[in-house]
């Protein structure tokens, strides 16, 4: 059984990874998790770890820092990197530092994780070389689609032959991937990726001038070679729309796209790849299954949205956690700024803020489209407002919708955490070291807050709940086995049989021996 360490400061990601698959069936077990690289490193120094699954962006020590430190150890575990939308530069650095592979958080499903573990099992943990000394394996030509993605992600050097003329880079993403992927079984390579690429290859202009590869089952990269300098913009957007329509018609997949500015040679490729991803992130303002390009009139820019996220960080954070006072205070300043602008500039500022909010919702594993029953094109919605007062009223309502949505989902998520906490207790009650702190740490809540919420929801304290679980299990063992009392005591988490006897008698009004008789 291989030991796995999960490293991520996002509680939901850690819990998701733990529960996404049956680890033991695949020959793995979760040894522990950590909220940053330093905590992970301290654990690895004292415990055997075969596989580290780590996020890139974390406080204290990030994923790159962890990889650098791991390379200084005598025994280095295999490392699987978790990547977000804008982490591709970090993923390339991770490969240079010895990471085995990566998983996109947006495409993290039971199937993608299981497939990755199988690949690691075959390529990293087992040597499939020819041990008999026979003939060498034949050299297999690597498809251009694979080479393109490997170059984009930093797994191989850039090859000049790919970039001998001007080009654009496009990134495509399947919308609602977690729902859509359920239709494609467990073998994404055969059931999803291969059909996506084959359908694209049946479009003549794609087949003749483009290379398309899968960055992940949910994300695709296309190199579009420019052969029409006068009309490349219109033709590229048209090709992009045709691809999305083909995938929608034949595979019932809604796909959004981002297109870069032109690039020339190897020196531009990685920047154009990043730019295509940035354009894709602006899709939230247009709706699902849309195309974002850098030439669209009056479209916002990635840099403007990112700056808005920094400028209005307190307002956005207040909206996410339902902090009425902070929102009230911060929006006064925001509206004060808007009234100093021309109406057009004020509308643009609102779009920047809305897109930045959408990014935060996405990071929180939510979707801005869930705010309303119908899909909203924010360019059109904001564009129809013809005066500052109307803009202010709409934004006030919008802020309220976001706060109400987050409050509802926060309650749901906290309830889910209590369920996970109780499952963790049921899985670990036999461990004498199980404490309130260890359970709170597992679900990522402050110990005091967890204690208060647990007592409120369960009607009894954590300590009393754990005691009841242990004693109930002890009674089951007495009724169904011939184990001795001291063996039962140890089986339900008590090191001292005397202490177990006192607790049992207090709850059951009879000694363990008397209960068994």
Position 388 scores a pLDDT of: 95
Q: Name the range with the highest mean pLDDT among 7-11, 205-209, 227-231, 257-261.
A: 257-261
- Closest listed residue to residue 298, CA positions, set 358, 344, 355, 236: 344
Mean pLDDT, the chain, whole residue set = 89
Spatial separation of the C-alpha atoms in residues 71 and 159, rounded to whole Å: 28
pLDDT digits over 91-100, tens only?
999 999 999 9
Q: Does residue 85 surpass a pLDDT of 80?
A: no
Q: Does residue 71 surpass a pLDDT of 90?
A: yes
pLDDT digits over 465-479, tens only?
999 999 989 998 998
Position 139 scores a pLDDT of: 62
Position 411 scores a pLDDT of: 62
Task: Determine the average pLDDT of the residues in 476-485.
Answer: 90
Calculate the alpha carbon distances from 499 to 349, 490, 511 in Å. Answer: 65, 11, 12
Instruction: For the chain, give the longest Cα–Cα distance.
Output: 93
Spatial separation of the C-alpha atoms in residues 421 and 443, rounded to whole Å: 7
What is the pTM for the complete model shown?
A: 0.77
Calculate the alpha carbon distances from 206 to 189, 198, 467 in Å. Answer: 21, 11, 65
| Residue 187 pLDDT grade (very low, low, confident, very high; cuts 50, 70, 90) | confident
Residue indicated by tokens 């754990």:
466
Query: Any idea of the CA torsion for 87, 88, 94, 99, to the nearest 10 degrees?
Result: 100
Task: Determine the average pLDDT of the residues in 260-264.
Answer: 97
Position 152 scores a pLDDT of: 95
DSSP 408-427: HHHHHHHHHHHHHHHHHHHH
Q: Name the range with the highest mean pLDDT among 119-133, 250-264, 324-338.
A: 250-264
Q: Does residue 196 surpass a pLDDT of 90?
A: yes
Among left, alpha and beta (phi > 0; psi -120 to 50; other), residue 47 is beta
Which residue segments constitute the domains of the chain, with CATH numbers given? 2-123 (3.40.50.2300), 144-292 (3.30.70.270), 302-408 (no CATH), 429-516 (1.10.10.60)
pLDDT digits over 365-417, tens only?
778 887 777 889 999 999 999 999 999 999 999 999 998 888 777 666 666 67
Q: Does residue 134 surpass a pLDDT of 80?
A: no
Position 384 scores a pLDDT of: 95
pLDDT digits over 418-464, tens only?
777 888 888 888 888 889 988 888 877 778 878 888 888 888 899 99
Position 158 scores a pLDDT of: 94
Instruction: Using DSSP, state whether 384 is helix, strand or coil.
Output: coil
Spatial separation of the C-alpha atoms in residues 92 and 101, rounded to whole Å: 10
């Amino acid at each position: 059984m291989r030991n796995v360490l999960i490293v991520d400061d996002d509680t939901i990601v850690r819990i998701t990874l733990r529960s996404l698959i049956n680890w033991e069936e695949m020959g793995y077990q979760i040894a522990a998790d950590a909220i940053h690289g330093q905590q992970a490193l301290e654990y690895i120094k004292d415990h055997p770890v075969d596989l580290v699954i780590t996020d890139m962006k974390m406080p204290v020590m990030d994923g790159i820092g962890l990889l650098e430190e791991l390379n200084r150890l005598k025994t280095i575990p295999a490392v699987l990197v978790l990547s977000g939308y804008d982490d591709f530069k970090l993923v390339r650095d991770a490969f240079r530092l010895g990471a085995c592979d990566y998983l996109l958080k947006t495409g993290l499903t039971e199937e993608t994780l299981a497939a990755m573990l199988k690949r690691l099992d075959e390529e990293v943990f087992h040597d499939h070389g020819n041990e008999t000394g026979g003939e060498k394996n034949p050299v297999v030509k690597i498809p251009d689609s694979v080479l393109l993605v490997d170059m984009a992600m930093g797994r191989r050097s850039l090859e000049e032959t790919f970039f001998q003329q001007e080009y654009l880079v496009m990134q495509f993403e399947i919308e609602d991937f977690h729902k859509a992927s359920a239709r494609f079984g467990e073998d994404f390579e055969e059931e999803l990726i291969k059909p996506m690429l084959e359908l694209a290859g049946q479009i003549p202009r794609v087949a003749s001038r483009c290379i398309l590869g899968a960055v992940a089952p949910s994300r695709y990269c296309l190199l579009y070679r420019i052969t029409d300098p006068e009309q490349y913009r219109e033709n590229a957007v048209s090709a992009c729309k045709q691809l999305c329509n083909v995938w929608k018609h034949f595979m019932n997949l809604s796909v959004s796209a981002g297109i870069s500015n032109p690039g020339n040679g190897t020196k531009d490729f990685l920047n154009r790849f990043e730019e295509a991803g940035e354009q894709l992130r602006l899709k939230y303002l247009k709706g699902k299954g849309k195309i974002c390009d850098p030439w669209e009139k009056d479209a916002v820019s990635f840099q403007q949205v990112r700056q808005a996220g920094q400028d209005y960080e307190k307002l956005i954070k207040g909206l996410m956690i339902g902090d009425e006072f902070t929102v009230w205070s911060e929006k006064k300043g925001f509206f004060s700024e808007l009234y100093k602008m021309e109406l057009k500039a004020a509308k643009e500022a609102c779009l920047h803020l809305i897109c930045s909010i959408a990014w935060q919702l996405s990071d929180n594993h939510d979707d801005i489209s869930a705010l309303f029953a119908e899909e909203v094109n924010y360019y059109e919605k904001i564009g129809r407002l013809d005066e500052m007062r109307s803009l202010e009223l709409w934004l006030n309502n919008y802020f309220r919708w976001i706060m109400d949505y987050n409050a509802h989902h926060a309650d749901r998520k906290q309830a889910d955490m209590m369920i996970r906490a109780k499952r963790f207790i049921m899985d670990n009650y036999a461990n004498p070291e199980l404490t309130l702190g260890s359970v709170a740490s597992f679900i990522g809540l402050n110990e005091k807050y967890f204690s208060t919420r647990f007592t409120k929801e369960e009607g009894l304290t954590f300590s009393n709940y754990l005691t009841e679980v242990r004693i109930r299990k002890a009674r089951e063992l007495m009724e169904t086995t011939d184990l001795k009392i001291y063996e039962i005591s140890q089986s339900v988490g008590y090191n001292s049989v005397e202490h177990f006897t006192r607790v049992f008698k207090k709850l059951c009004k009879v000694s363990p021996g008397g209960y068994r008789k």
